[in-house]
Amino acid sequence: MTMQSQRVISGSYGKVYENGEWQSNIYGIEASGEVAYEEVKRSGTRSVGQKAMSVSYSGTMKTYHMSNSFVSRIHQISDDSQGAYFTELIVALEDPENPQMAREKYRLKGVQFTNIPIVSFEHGTPVEQELQFVFEGFEIITI
């Protein structure tokens, strides 16, 4: 079967929500899980098996810098009287050219940011930030 190019899902329609509010300055996100395996020696063979032992999740968001409100929330970990900033992100892909397939939503649970972007700029270009984060799990939301 020949691939129909119009069915390819476009990232242009991706959106990230935090606390129910669309974060329109986020123009890219990547989230993934990494499975850690432990070797299992097996009798009667030289072949070593693999046992899944844990999963860790991490990601990166690319944003345009529009205010310091997000950074201020992440920065609260620097205050010894507070803990890390925890939040939840909803990531949605809804491409109007492929409505049957491109209706995906993911809930990223227990998001914590692993870097605090303080300042970065370059003459003649929009100010961008890259936010790395870890999270505790995810849920696929049926639309």
Domain extent listing, the chain: 9-141
DSSP annotation of 96 reads T
Q: How many whole angstroms separate alpha carbon 138 and alpha carbon 107? A: 5
Burial class (CB in 10 A: 0-12, 13-18, 19+), 24: exposed
9-141: CATH topology is: Pnp Oxidase; Chain A (2.30.110)
Q: How many whole angstroms separate alpha carbon 61 and alpha carbon 129? A: 8
Phi-psi region of 51 (alpha: psi -120 to 50; beta: other; left: phi over 0): beta
The per-residue pLDDT for 8 is 82
Burial class (CB in 10 A: 0-12, 13-18, 19+), 73: middle
Burial class (CB in 10 A: 0-12, 13-18, 19+), 65: middle
Q: Which amino acid is at 3?
A: M
Residue, of 65 and 9, whose pLDDT is higher: 65
Q: State the pTM of this model.
A: 0.87
Q: Could you read off the pLDDT of 41-100 as tens digits, one per residue? A: 999 999 999 999 999 999 999 999 988 888 888 999 888 888 889 999 999 988 888 777
